[in-house]
Amino acid sequence: MRRNRRVKIVATLGPASAAPEMIERLFIAGVDVFRINLSHSTHDGAKALYNAVRACAARHRHPIGILADLQGPKFRIGNFDAGRVKLTAGSIFKFDRDETLGTGERVFLPHTQIFEAIKPGHSLVLDDGKLRMRVIETSPVQIHAEVTTGGLLASRKGISMPDTLLPISPLTEKDKADLVHALKLGVDWVALSFVQRAEDVHEVRKLIGSRAAIVSKIEKPSAVADLEDVIAASDAIMVARGDLGVEMPVEKVPGLQKKITRLARAAGKPVIIATQMLESMISSPMPTRAEVSDVATAVFDGADAIMLSAESAVGQYPVEAIQMMDKIAIEVEQDPVYEPMLHATQTEPQPTGADAIAAAASAIAGTVKLGAIVCYTATGSTVLRVTRERPGIPVIGLTPIESTARRLSLVWGVQTILTGDPENSSHMVRKACRIAFEEGLVKARDGLVVIAGIPLGSPGATNMVRIAFIDERGAPIAEEV
């Protein structure tokens, strides 16, 4: 199914969208990748969702990506004797290792890693940012903190430490079990929560290998501090704005979103903008004007994908939310200022031959006014290099490998089609012309630039580039090196 936009849509599955019939409706409405949130899904539930998506893809003969999102470590305080307490700004509150019920002066904190790592001057954020404290004294068994933003604090509320680099793995025992299950199912992408540094991604890479691609969620200030290395270690990046806005001042999030998008694009790594994009559509058939502008900004910035969470998982209008996101994206991409804004920041090619060829192919297509760029690829890397340039014409990814086709469903601007290996360069050009013509991506007399990122009959015969023009039957009229 051909999409009329270049940005991709990720939708989270949940109670409102778990039925196979609803998954099909969401796909038809515009979903390119489905997210399974393992924080809220059992293994049997994840398997049922996985099978429903794969069945939908088979019926429509269209690659659909599946993203499994791991929960990551969660930190919570203990229980209060009264269920909740009221804390006032300026008061001193203590966290300790005493498991007795908490009072208005102290509460149990069952995480030894926090006591080991936190320092005076560090911040504590509780209940998703509703309460804030500043650490004034620490010991191996107690933390004294001054309340800077007071309010009601209830039992078992979450606590986070935005200034503290914790000596823990991004994978809990639950995450490890969920990861094994997700890989056994055959998911295409794994989203990694609680990334603090690039080493966290390398650690998980050792467990995953090449069985799935890794999306690193940027939600911690420590990950922002190590951003370029985290991007380099990852296959894709998610701007997890909800958690990022809790851990950091909310006014910094828009600028960070643009910075992360720009750096990910420069590295040729897909970037997803997530959280609260159309939040009001959980209970309303129409979004707010501010939400529409938020989605539009992500599209103008050249993000690869925009994501819905609760809107499609538990909302009352999941199909309408997808349709709205699709309409916003199409409208933005047709705007006269879209292309200038997309290329407002120059993306320099990486210093490799393959990247130079991909950049040259994009330049050739623009200079000669060609109709499309066609990439033969086995791993998807050739397509990523080309789309990194954000060309103004269709990019067609041809691959013989189904897992590659599904992974590319997350990538900006790519129409991916499964096909066999070409026998040689001439066969490559003929097949590229025919498929592009039959899919309606080009018309007679249009030209194509064709790049081969896979071997063509002889060892080392990769990254070949050809230009061809198409006749009324979809066959090449002429071919140029």
Catalytic (active site) residue 35: yes
- Known catalytic residue at 5: no
| Residues listed for the chain | 481
Whose CA is closest to 64, among 77, 78, 54? Answer: 54
CA dist 171 and 174 (Å) reads: 8
User: How many angstroms separate the CA atoms of 434 and 471, rounded?
Assistant: 10
Identified catalytic residue from 261, 275, 382, 462: 275
Tokens at 400, concatenated: 């013989």
Element (H, E) at 432: helix 425-438
Residue 49 CB contacts under 8 Å (≥ 6 apart), including other chains: 13, 18, 23, 34, 36, 41
Query: Hey, what are 130's tokens?
Result: 């509703």
Q: Which residues pair with 96 in a beta bridge?
A: 108, 142
**Residue 161 structure tokens:** 């430490």
**Exposed / middle / buried, residue 206 (Cβ in 10 Å: 0-12, 13-18, 19+):** exposed
Coil, strand or helix at 220: coil
Catalytic residue, chosen from 5, 197, 217, 407, is: 217
Spell out the residues 6+ positions from residue 25 whose beta carbon is closer than 8 angstroms to its own. 319
Catalytic residue among 3, 76, 84, 252: 76
Q: Is 217 a catalytic residue?
A: yes
Two tokens, residue 307: 């994501």
Q: Which amino acids are annotated catalytic?
A: 35, 76, 217, 275
